[in-house]
Amino acid sequence: MSTAVNSATYAAMPIGRVPTTLTINGQTRTRAIEPWTTLLDLLREGEDLIGTKKGCDHGQCGACTVLVDGRRINSCLKLAVTLDGAEITTIEGLGQPGNLHPLQSAFCDHDAFQCGYCTPGQICSAQGLINEGKARTRDEVRELMSGNLCRCGAYTNIIDAVLDVIGEQA
């Protein structure tokens, strides 16, 4: 069946909005979403999940990286309505104060940030990298973390932190 805005099927929905079921950090809910809303804006503005950061808003920095069905993507370039049925994990879903994710602990241990703005994206990206299972060596981790810029230049420590967690899992 086709889904179209303003169709009679969705007469109950506000004009122009599309019913979209998303599971965000384990919670499933159907929302009426304007089609031009990016996942990033939905998370930050609609869900108050402000851990995910808006850096460039053009897919050039990686600060907005989240996991969709376990795969890392730039949430700034994804319309939320296209993700109907998907499971989204943000930094808030990976760990919380007092119950840190291993990557969060490793970033602390290795001093893998200064200002911290890129860190949620770095950590979600690193979890995506681990899920992919393609990076084992330092060179491979460097290359496969290259979608996340860090203007403080914490790169060497970020790579150390990711390698630490990969080593623990191996």
Residue numbers at the binding site for other proteins (CB under 8 A): 1-6, 16, 18, 34-36, 38, 57-59, 62, 65, 71-74, 77-79, 81-82, 84, 125, 128-129, 132, 134, 137, 139-140, 142-144, 146-148
**In angstroms, what is the minimal distance from the CB of 57 to other proteins?**
7
**In angstroms, what is the minimal distance from the CB of 115 to other proteins?**
20
| Single-letter amino acid, residue 161 | A
Query: Which of 125/157 has CB closer to other proteins?
Result: 125
Query: Which of 21/96 has CB closer to other proteins?
Result: 21
Query: Which of 24/129 has CB closer to other proteins?
Result: 129
| Inter-residue long-range contacts of 149-157, CB under 8 Å, 24+ positions, other chains counted | 149/55, 149/60, 149/61, 149/62, 149/63, 149/118, 150/113, 150/118, 150/122, 151/115, 151/118, 152/113, 152/114, 152/115, 152/118, 154/111, 154/112, 154/113, 154/114, 157/110, 157/111, 157/112, 157/113
Query: Which of 3/96 has CB closer to other proteins?
Result: 3
**In angstroms, what is the minimal distance from the CB of 45 to other proteins?**
14
Instruction: Please list the alpha-helical segments (H only) found in 49-137.
Output: 91-94, 102-109, 119-132
**In angstroms, what is the minimal distance from the CB of 114 to other proteins?**
21
**In angstroms, what is the minimal distance from the CB of 99 to other proteins?**
26
Neighbours of 57 (CB within 10 A): 15
Q: How far is CA 92 from the centre of its chain?
A: 10
Looking at the DSSP assignment, which residues form a beta bridge with residue 99?
96
Query: Which of 5/152 has CB closer to other proteins?
Result: 5
